[in-house]
Structure 1
Amino acid sequence: MTREPYPTARRADTVDVLHETPVPDPYRWLEDPDSPETQGWLLAQADLFKRESGPQRFRERIGELLRSGSVGTPAWRGGRAFFSRRTPDQEHAVYYVAEPDGTERALIDPMELDPSGLTTLDAVQPDKEGRLLAYQISVGGTEESVLYVIDVATGSRVEGPIDRCRYSPVAWLPGGEAFYYVRRLPSTEVPENESQFHRRVYLHRVGTSTEDDVMIFGQGLKMTNYYGVSVSRDGRWLQVSAHEGTAPRNDLWVADLTASPPERPELVVVQEGVDAQTGLTFGRDGRLYVHTDRDASRGRVCVTDPATPGAEGWRDLIPEDPEAVLSDYAVLDDLERPIMLVGWTRHAISEISVHDLATGERLGEVPTPGLGSIGGLSERPEGGFEAWFGYTDNTTPPTIQRYDARTGETTLWAASPGAVEVPAVRTSQEVYRSKDGTEVRMLVISPVDAEGPRPTILYGYGGFGLSMTPGYSASILAWVEAGGVYAIANLRGGGEEGEDWHRAGMLGHKQNVFDDFHAAAEHLVATGVTTPEQLAISGGSNGGLLVGAALTQRPDLYAAVACSAPLLDMVRYELFGLGATWNVEYGSAEDPEQFGWLRSYSPYHQVREGVEYPAVLFTVFQSDTRVHPLHAWKMCAALQHASASDRPVLLRNEAEVGHGARSISRTVDLSADTLTFLAHHTGL
């Protein structure tokens, strides 16, 4: 098969010398999205993608499977329940309130705010009484959240817009008169290339100008810090945390707001300079509950007195489990014997155990609908005997379950509103060994009657402590229904086996992630699930880095690659988007040793001329402010120049969407284009 010629991309002789090492960068000019040369190249790539991608398959079926809609876990405030729901025909989920009598009202509908579908709802936080609601929206995928407050009863706006609130928590004080939040400094006060950073914690009084907001924390600390802030249910305790970028550790402080004013809280150190993550819950019983991975990679819950919050006073309530990761907990205390529900993931499968609140003694477990993922354990802030949690698995659209501690029963509280016919699939969890002998797990979803090798997609992420757990996916189901196999590997770098598992795949250990992935592919081939000619790999963001490294390290092992919103130039990644916040995960090219790690696997720098590379589809989003599309642009140009195979290297460059949330129709289109490409090059 003859491939049509690629658009011309000038190869410049740009070379940086870093730590006495020459680092060529022939496509540096593609880092400027506004240059006529870049724009001309992108238009030519768009034309090529249109011509080469062929008739789109899967679109209708993915759309049907997404008609399940979705539903979110409720937050209870003052007798009201706040929750999200997306019905079969909606582009975005709508945020609702249910009154104590069960009457429902829509509070925020992104399509009403913007019928184009480009506005997304980024975050919501009702106040403690359920009378006011803070929410954050952004447009066109930028994730540049703007904060508003509305009156829940009338829907009228009482505050906003407040800009520069990307990733801001909102911590209400009782009465709804004020809240703490996080906001970046104005761009006029920081260097131009640092406008995404420099966050501070402020106190804002509703109805006053943000000019009058009082900065209570963040001055003089690292520019890449993220801050968390919360106020206890009774309004007495303020908790402030600081993470350096995405580091798996935090510093933590508390203040007693009855002993110091909200504008000048006297913050007391809980932990500082400690290599661990810790969060606090102030119990209705007067005890302080501590969720930490300090001296417990898989997590534990301790108790102490709020007056002495430091680690020296912690006492284990729920100790670390040798093979399950403690994810969250809820306290149910309107019972003769108060209990704590504890959420765990055991090898990526969720479970909930029941414990005596006073002693931690295990009393039993919460019945769950199956072997899947549980999220968002929630209880009523004033206490009670019931809890709610989200549940999904590979064939179950999201549901909300209600657990009644008086009866020990779990019942369906809310289902996704759309009825869909889900294909029958077979799911198994495989265990295989990586290059260094480490046991790794992988979920394999296949047709019920699957026999013999067949087209297979291997998916992975392996970073930032994020766990790949079972969940409803229209793309996976459409692929398997068509006769393919879909495998999801629980690689090191993720959180499936705790914080040690994460750290075994970060910084200087990043190659472990790629080795785990290659070993997953080899296991699928060795067990007869697929062959290298039928095996595709897929990943996005940090998973895009994963498949970029995989295709350059083992081009012989994969037939096709879908690489979405990827990091690929690991020498310069810190200079773009939110890259400077990730050097705690990857390392920094400014450090000689860390530069060595990064250069050794940086996909863009590992492309070699004359190699027969797999078919590659890069999917990127023009408004992505986390990972700049330049990574994929440069890598696409490099592969188009270097590959000796007749399999195509294509770029799908999408405007007015970003790294995260998008409308359903955009999701369907992207999924269909990706599966069509992978099907074509694996023979499905």
Structure 2
Amino acid sequence: MPAITYPKTERSDVREEHFGVTVADPYRWLENDVRADTKVADWVEDQNQVTDTYLDALPARKAFQDRMTELFDYERLSVPQKRGARYFYLRFAGSTGHGVLHVREGLDGADRVLIDPNAWSKDGSVALGEWSVSDDGEHLAYAVQDGGADWRTIRVLKVATGEILGDEVRWARFTALDWMKDGSGFFYCRYPEPEAGMALQASVENHAIYFHRLGTPQAEDRLLYATPDQPRLLHLFEITKDGRYAVIISSPGTMAAALTVVDLTEAAWRPRKLIEDFDNEWNVFGNRGTKLFIGTSRDAERRKLVTLDLAEANPVFTDLVGEREAVLTSAWLIGGRVLASYLVDAKTEILRYDLEGRPDGVVEQPGIGSVLGFQGDPDDPESFFVFTSYDAPTTVYRYDVETREASIWTKPQLPPGLDRIVVEQHFCTSKDGTRVPMFVMRRKDVTGPAPTLLYGYGGFSINLVPIYFPPYQAWVEQGGVLAVVNLRGGGEYGRAWHEAGRLGNKQNVFDDFIATAEYLQAQGIASPDGLAIKGESNGGLLVGAVVNQRPELFAAALPGVGVMDMLRYDRFTGGHLWLPEYGSPAEEAHFRNLMTYSPYHTIAQSKTYPAILVTTADMDDRVVPAHSFKYIAAVQAADLGPRPHLIHVETRSGHGMGKPTEKVIAEYADQWAFAARWTGLDVKPV
């Protein structure tokens, strides 16, 4: 391997006192915008050059890239959305580019292309974001994502002709798209227009929901809902299938939220606040007239189903389906039935109920895995869903609620090799005795210790469920083991599981991850010095924290787009939305807790660290790249042993969404080759 000389990183004497503690921040200048500050841009270019030279010398890089290109080279479709007699879906054709939006005239009719985002830019950096079709199937509103940023520009297309109309809506962000029942226009979320040149640094405050009427300028869009007295709230919305109600979920950044409805049949569009506190979770999944069907965590740690009749002057919540031991994750009102999705040890089961909450059987699944994305209407028995698992490719099923029959609508034809892989679920015991589950993938003939990749997240009540992902297969085919752990901080076991991994309990997440690593080695699954760890975003924070706490456990670490400076995270873009998860650095109790694990501040000097490859992107306006810049600068400056500590900064890219497939392949080929080098995985062409 080539000798590594890290680029020189200037240190400044920035120091601040927090509650009697003096904290140095020598790399604060790296917080400047890489696209505007030539000094930061030069530093990034120098870092990328060193990293690229190192990665170019790894023979496994090309082997992984070639194999992942083959593994991604299959046709796959998204769950179709039925509007009128038309079906709309994304078609992914292979290992390059973005999915292409198609329309099918009738269930067995001809397909045609509506939108091909691959024609929008030469480098694939402009992508199709959210999209929604009017109820009559005549118009399509779609969002354009540029360079991976969270900002969106919304356009409108006439489905029959493909004509793009003159409507343009800008500064949409964290938005849904949903149409007025009569097709006259659509609802969307936006923020105020930022100052010129400041879009990627702008603080996200004053989120608002607007209605855009077709054929009118954006300046005339009608405000549906905003909270100027609470500018940091995030507003999510959905229009009920009958078009009567706009249901609004308002959150300070957690799953818990306030609940508001607007009756769109009233001229005034007056918000009716049903829940004003932020103590519980609420999800309205359908209605019958004035009766709402809702999932909630109120008086139910693992959630339950309730109803609420808006015709009553003082409506009360009535239990429909009580709390179960399994965790309610989603529900749908389709074909006169309630379909409820539950997690049992991170695996999905779908139960049926009638509209009075009486049990009505189950939706049979083809195996153990995940059911995602049910689509359907309250009065139409035809619906669609996706089934997937670590060893089962994403397959779209058509489900008839009335007859209970499920049939394959489309199943991808994969390259050979999947039948050589086995998936097992293991449980390990964390430091405080908590039982923590994980899924382990390996080749059937790999029965002894092997180089292992361990992936985790552990935050924001996000569930890691079994899905098919070709890079996992590429690692396992080479004789490696892939493990995905369901840490506290996620939502796999309900609200208590999340609470046990947030704020002052965050150390539990790191303890769970460390216990998992120790288990993999103690059980002879991972080789003694052959364990690599990976996580992204909040998972990047996880990787940075556990490396600082137990560097000897790991051979390699892959923190991606991580939250690394826990004292300043809330100062950038939407970082304040994470305050309910991490706590405020401006409050002493939270500050002292954050200082125990902030990756940038807790690097263990004079210890031997694993090899580290940090990844981030120059247009990430969610977790700004400064987190990764400052962290790797501090790591490179410390005395942490001979293994490489590198960063790769992707250009014209963001937090992860909107990447063309070839960029995904290139990124994973870099990471897998780096991990293989330091875990001892012997990579051969497949």
Q: Name the TM-score, length of structure 1 as normaliser.
A: 0.94
1:2 Cα deviation from its structure 2 partner: 9.1
CA positional deviation for 1:230: 2.6
Amino acid at match of 2:679: T
Measured in 2, the distance between the counterparts of 1:560 and 1:77 equals: 49
1:363 to 354, 360, 379: 360
Q: Distance in 1 between matches of 2:119 and 2:46?
A: 36
Q: CA RMSD in A?
A: 2.1
Does 2:66 match 1:86? Answer: no
Give the structure 2 partner of residue 580 of structure 1: 576
1:332 aligns with 2:335: yes
1:265 is displaced (CA, Å) by 1.0
Structure 2 Cα separation of the partners of residues 464 and 90 of structure 1 = 32
Question: Does the Cα contact within 8 Å between 2:346 and 2:463 map onto a contact in 1?
Answer: yes
2:566 pairs with one of 567, 570, 573:
570
Equivalent position SS for 1:534:
strand
Rounded Cα–Cα distance in structure 2 between residues aligned with 1:533 and 1:306: 61
Q: Paired residue for 1:664, among 637, 661, 664?
A: 661
The answer to whether the 8 A contact 1:423-1:477 is kept is no
Alignment-mate amino acid for residue 19 of structure 1: F
**1:366-399 C-alpha deviation (Å, 9 max, x unpaired):** 1111111111112135x22232111111122211
Q: How many residues align?
A: 672
Q: How does 1:198-597 map to 2 (within 5 A)?
A: 198-244=206-252, 246-258=253-265, 260-261=266-267, 264-284=268-288, 287-308=291-312, 313-333=316-336, 339-358=337-356, 360-380=357-377, 383-416=379-412, 421-422=417-418, 424-597=420-593
Aligned to 1:38: 40
- How far apart are 1:97 and its partner, in Å? 1.4
Task: State the alpha-carbon separation in 1 of the partners of residues 404 and 612 from structure 2.
Answer: 51
Q: Equivalents in 2 of 1:562, 1:91: separation in Å?
A: 25
* Counterpart in the other structure of 2:145: 138
- How far is 1:7 from its partner? 1.8
Q: List runs of 5+ in structure 1 lacking aligned partners.
A: 334-338
Task: Return the alpha-carbon distance in structure 2 between the equivalents of residues 105 and 309 of structure 1.
Answer: 49
Aligned partners of 1:407 and 1:215: how far apart in 2? Answer: 43
Which amino acid in the other structure matches residue 131 of structure 2?
A: V
**Aligned-residue offset at 1:536:** 0.7
> What is the CA–CA distance in structure 2 between the aligned matches of 1:564 and 1:51, rounded to whole Å?
20
What is the match of residue 151 of structure 1? 158
| Residue in structure 2 matched with residue 27 of structure 1 by the alignment | 27
Aligned to 2:684: none
Change (3 A) 1:159 1:318: farther
Instruction: Please list every run of at least 4 consecutive aligned residues from structure 1 whose deviation after the TM superposition is greater than 4 angstroms.
Output: 188-195, 417-421
Q: What secondary structure, in the 3-state scheme, does the structure 2 residue paired with 1:518 have?
A: helix
Q: Distance in 1 between matches of 2:349 and 2:524?
A: 32
Retained in 2: the 8 A contact 1:551–1:558?
yes
Aligned with residue 67 of structure 1, among 70, 73, 78: 73
> Structure 2: where are the runs of 5+ without partners?
682-686
Q: Deviations over 1:337-364 (max 9, x none)?
A: xx32211121111111122222x22232
The answer (yes or no) to whether the contact 1:607–1:639 under 8 Å persists in 2 is yes
Deviations 1:531-580 (A, max 9, x none): 44111101111100000001000001111101111111111111223212
Instruction: State whether residues 225 and 271 of structure 2, in contact with CA within 8 Å, keep that contact through their aligned partners in structure 1.
Output: no
Deviates more, 1:202-211 or 1:323-332: 323-332
Q: 1:644-663, aligned counterparts within 5 Å?
A: 644-659=640-655, 660-663=657-660
Q: C-alpha displacement at 1:458, in angstroms?
A: 0.7
Q: Tell me which of 47, 61, 64 is aligned to 1:58.
A: 64
2:18 corresponds in structure 1 to 18
Residue 282 to residue 451, structure 1, CA distance change in 2 (3 Å)? closer
Measure the CA separation in 2 of the matches of 1:443 and 1:324: 18
Task: State the shift of 1:421 in Å.
Answer: 4.5
Shift, 1:74, TM fit = 1.4
Correspondence list, 1:601-616, <5 A: 601-616=597-612
Return closer, same or farther for 1:408/1:41 CA change in 2, 3 Å cut-off: same
Deviation at 1:622, TM superposition (A): 1.0
1:110-129 to structure 2, matched below 5 A, reads 110-129=117-136
Report the Cα distance in structure 2 between the residues aligned to 1:3 and 1:114, rounded to whole angstroms: 37
Give 2:4's aligned residue: 4
Match of 2:180 in 1: 173
Cα 1:282–1:35, aligned 2, differ >3 Å: closer, same or farther? Answer: closer
Give the aligned partner of residue 336 of structure 1: none
434-443 vs 37-46, which moves further? 37-46
Give, as a single letter, the amino acid of the residue that structure 2 aligns with 1:290: I
Deviation at 1:219, TM superposition (A): 4.1
Q: Distance in 1 between matches of 2:582 and 2:132?
A: 32
